[in-house]
Structure 1
């Protein structure tokens, strides 16, 4: 996997012609005559997602942008899908429940994709967009990982995974607060955590349909993998930030 490289952002932000052009556009007065708050350029600090370039994603985000739904509402829907997935893990420990959880995880990720596309490509950015981009993600991660740990019979492991998942985001945003580009590297970034959870649910469901009751060990292994991977991700991101701050 190609490593995401951190790059320092020049201190003189107003000297950046791209930022100047964007800020000039962002300060255009709104319909009520009040000036809009300048925001980050839409291409800056975005998680690299290959699906953004797919035709179906562009078509769906374009359709949503023409509707009354807002990007922030899409972000909230991601939490609802995560909650539904966690509930299926905990209270529906059957192949159908595990399949349902896998579907909810993918719907949560779809919301994560579309909220940004509707906001940026659809031109529906709001002053609170960054807030809604981060907080629902932390809640959704926590719900799913707590559900995973509980379903595996190791609730403490779910709490550990949720804590470490939140810490990966904290480290990333700490780098940004120090003037660096946000670092989305793994080995267990959000998309990797959700891929592991989805794979575990599908494997548990498939073997369950064949009569093998091995969901506990499968989900437990996934919970351990996510927790350890998230810890390694925190270390890798912290080391990268430290190297840049020291000028190495």
Structure 2
């Protein structure tokens, strides 16, 4: 469940802790959120549903490694994984909108806001590493780098600098790459899914790891700058 939005100066960590998501302002998102609010949906329950979708996505990607290479089953698993990654992001979108719409502040809302996200990132990236050729270690590296970005954001917020959601490899970018490589892998012939002997998913995980590490360092520098001022 997301907390209310805050302000923030461009180029600095935001003073609130609500991730800026442009889709919140779209008509379809507001209509769906209103429908959920009218049915008294639980924001924390939506957060858990997003975590479940991410876990299923990770299982789909794990199944890719065990399916017949290039077969229908493998392609279907890639597509299901991509769809479930997007379902996770939709849950991340609507949990905060529902919490604000219902005017409910849960005493454990911060836990539901953070813990499911860490589990979700880990499940998806570990699964993607397995799908890339059993490279679960590469998935773990990407997961740890992603966790570092969230850790720096949480430390900055606790220290009074606000939450910094800056990139270049924040959650939206990580999940966009995971979704994109899954869809591409489902559509391309098997021989086109490899570059330099490595599956495209391995290259994507390498990019996520490096850029997420850069994101963590960038956030740390920005937070330190705010605290010094």
Q: TM-score w.r.t. structure 1 length?
A: 0.80
Task: Look up the match of 1:100.
Answer: 80
Task: Look up the match of 1:91.
Answer: 63
2:17 counterpart SS class? coil
Larger Rg: 1
Q: Deviations over 1:57-91 (max 9, x none)?
A: 11111111122430000000011100111111111
Displacement of 1:202 after TM fit? 1.0
Report if aligned partners of 1:152, 1:217 keep a CA contact under 8 Å in 2.
Answer: yes
Displacement of 1:105 after TM fit? 0.6
Aligned length: 209
Task: Look up the match of 2:217.
Answer: 235
Q: CA–CA distance in 1 between the matches of 2:143 and 2:85?
A: 15
Q: CA–CA distance in 2 between the matches of 1:217 and 1:149?
A: 10
Q: CA–CA distance in 2 between the matches of 1:173 and 1:121?
A: 25
Task: Look up the match of 1:139.
Answer: 119
Q: Deviations over 1:87-122 (max 9, x none)?
A: 111113511111111100100000000000000123
Q: TM-score w.r.t. structure 2 length?
A: 0.86
Q: Deviations over 1:146-203 (max 9, x none)?
A: 1011111211111111111111000001111111121000000000000010111111
Task: Look up the match of 1:76.
Answer: 48
> Is structure 2 residue 145 aligned with structure 1 residue 164?
yes
Highest relative contact order (Cα 8 Å, sep 6+), 1 or 2? Answer: 2
Q: CA–CA distance in 2 between the matches of 1:212 and 1:150?
A: 18
> Is structure 2 residue 48 aligned with structure 1 residue 48?
no
Task: Look up the match of 1:27.
Answer: none
Q: CA–CA distance in 2 between the matches of 1:60 and 1:141?
A: 25
Displacement of 1:7 after TM fit? 5.3
Identify if the C-alpha distance between structure 1 residues 127 and 56 changes in structure 2 by more than 3 Å, giving closer, same or farther: same
Task: Look up the match of 2:177.
Answer: 196
Displacement of 1:238 after TM fit? 0.7
RMSD: 1.8
The equivalent position to 1:214 in structure 2, one of 187, 193, 199, is 193
Q: Which runs of 5+ in 1 are unaligned?
A: 10-43
Q: Deviations over 1:197-218 (max 9, x none)?
A: 011111111104xx54626611
